[in-house]
């Protein structure tokens, strides 16, 4: 059985990092290695696409050549033989000349997806070439040959399982495979992607398709922490989390793990282990179906939240009002994160404002609407059963000096969420860290 090892952009972000992957990936255990694009590449490709969309061919050309120069520095450090360097140079010429060809014609949305796929295609090929130069046997199985979305833009599980196994069967004696994260084909066979953070999703989908014994997500941090280490000074990695706890933390802001990653693994009961490429000996975080001990485990925060307060006398003692409200959000495919109700009002939050004006316009026909932007959801996660007292008190006591826009408790045994103005987020996270985990 193949272990699945996914490495993020920082893990392949330089020649030195790529070389260090050998110590983790090359041993007797069969593996499928899933790679993201080198750090910074996807952002650069997004900028290139923006200039192409603006029909600014000159600036797009400059950005493409600049990115190629960055890769040229990487391969000059990565390869020690003339043959290896020549192969890598030819690879760069092929990919970057391909990107330059888009400066000569009208640029379309489908072509944008093609350009965004180049980062993963480059990182996997360069790692494969480096292993080859080092005398290590490996094979690339192209994600575009098996990773596919259905008509609902969800992974086509049956197709993926069938064609992934077909790719693996081409090399029955091989124990080390490399493939691309993030990229896929859509229902029409066009190149597409699993959106930002999708390499985690790729790894989980692949693991589920072959019933892997474990999916490992390797990043530059030693597991999921009890609080955001970028904001709070004293945090620690959590040894074990349940699938549900990890899913809550990922959705509500824990950047180490993409929210979609959990579901395929959970459905197949495949443990997910979070590891640090800079400290491979560190224990990391193991996520599985076991029920962890009672209590609060961690805190996460999600920014870019918009709160919508919908007030109407029609709601009083009336049925059907909430349905009318939710149908508006459904029509505009806008998911709701939090919701609180009273006799005559409902407050809810969204993190996608693409159709905010249209939603507000329709809501104004049935209610009075108030909008609060620049909000953050603070999510406290753990095993918090409804029949156990004290957890809500602990959270609210910690935040007694911070104005709370909304509170959500009881919808899940794993989550207590509050909404605060984003400028209070740091203060809220520090207060929770001090009060819940006794760090001052």
The token pair at 333 is: 């495919």
Residues 114-131 pLDDT 10s? 999 999 999 999 999 999
Residues 79-109 pLDDT 10s? 999 999 999 999 999 999 999 999 988 888 8
| pLDDT confidence of residue 51 | 95
| pLDDT confidence of residue 107 | 85
| pLDDT confidence of residue 411 | 82
Domain 3-220 coded CATH 3.20.20.70: no
The token pair at 87 is: 């192969």
| pLDDT confidence of residue 318 | 62
Give the integer Cα–Cα distance in Å for 381 and 251: 11
| pLDDT confidence of residue 109 | 80
| pLDDT confidence of residue 168 | 97
Question: Can you give the pTM of this predicted structure?
Answer: 0.89
User: Where do the domains of the chain lie?
Assistant: 3-220, 297-437
- Exposed / middle / buried, residue 214 (Cβ in 10 Å: 0-12, 13-18, 19+): middle
CATH number of 297-437: 3.30.2130.10
Give the integer Cα–Cα distance in Å for 419 and 406: 5
The token pair at 126 is: 């360069």
Residue 178 carries which DSSP code?
E
Instruction: List the chain residues with pLDDT less than 50.
Output: 317
């Amino acid at each position: 059985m193949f272990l699945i090892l996914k490495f993020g952009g920082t893990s392949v972000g330089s020649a030195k990092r790529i070389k260090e992957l050998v110590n983790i990936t090359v041993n007797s255990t069969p593996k499928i290695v899933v790679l993201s694009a080198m750090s910074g590449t996807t952002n650069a490709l997004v900028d290139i696409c923006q200039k192409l969309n603006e029909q600014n061919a000159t600036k797009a050309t400059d950005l493409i050549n600049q990115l190629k120069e960055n890769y040229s520095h990487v391969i000059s450090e990565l390869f020690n033989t003339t043959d290896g360097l020549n192969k890598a140079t030819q690879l760069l010429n092929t990919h970057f000349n391909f990107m330059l060809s888009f400066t000569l014609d009208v640029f379309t949305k489908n072509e944008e997806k093609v350009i965004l796929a180049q980062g993963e295609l480059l990182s996997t090929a360069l790692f494969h070439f480096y292993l080859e130069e080092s005398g290590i046997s490996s094979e690339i199985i192209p994600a575009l040959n098996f990773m596919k979305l259905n008509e609902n833009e969800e992974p086509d599980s049956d197709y993926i399982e069938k064609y992934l196994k077909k790719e693996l069967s081409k090399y029955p004696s091989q124990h080390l495979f490399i493939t691309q994260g993030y990229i896929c084909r859509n229902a029409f066979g066009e190149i597409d992607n699993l959106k930002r953070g999708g390499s985690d999703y790729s790894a989980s989908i692949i693991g589920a398709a072959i019933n892997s014994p474990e999916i490992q997500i390797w990043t530059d941090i030693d597991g999921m922490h009890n609080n955001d280490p970028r904001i709070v000074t004293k945090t620690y990695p959590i040894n074990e989390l349940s699938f549900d706890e990890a899913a809550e933390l990922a959705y509500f802001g824990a950047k180490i793990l993409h929210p979609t990653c959990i579901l395929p693994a959970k459905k197949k009961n495949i443990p997910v282990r979070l590891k640090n490429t800079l400290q491979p000996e560190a224990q990391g975080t193991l996520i599985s179906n076991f029920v962890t001990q009672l209590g609060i485990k961690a805190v996460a925060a999600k920014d870019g939240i918009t709160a919508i307060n919908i007030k109407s006398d029609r709601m009083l003692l009336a049925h059907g009002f909430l349905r009318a409200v939710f149908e508006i959000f459904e029509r505009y495919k806008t998911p709701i994160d939090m919701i609180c109700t009273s006799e005559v009002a409902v407050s809810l939050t969204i993190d996608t404002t693409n159709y905010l004006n249209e939603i507000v316009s329709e809501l104004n026909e049935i209610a009075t609407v108030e909008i609060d932007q620049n909000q953050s959801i603070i999510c406290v996660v753990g095993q918090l059963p409804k029949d156990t007292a004290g957890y809500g008190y602990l959270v609210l006591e910690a935040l007694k000096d911070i104005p709370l826009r909304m509170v959500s408790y009881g919808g899940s045994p794993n989550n207590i969420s509050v909404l605060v103005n984003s400028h209070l987020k740091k203060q809220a996270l520090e207060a929770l860290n001090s009060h819940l985990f006794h760090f001052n």
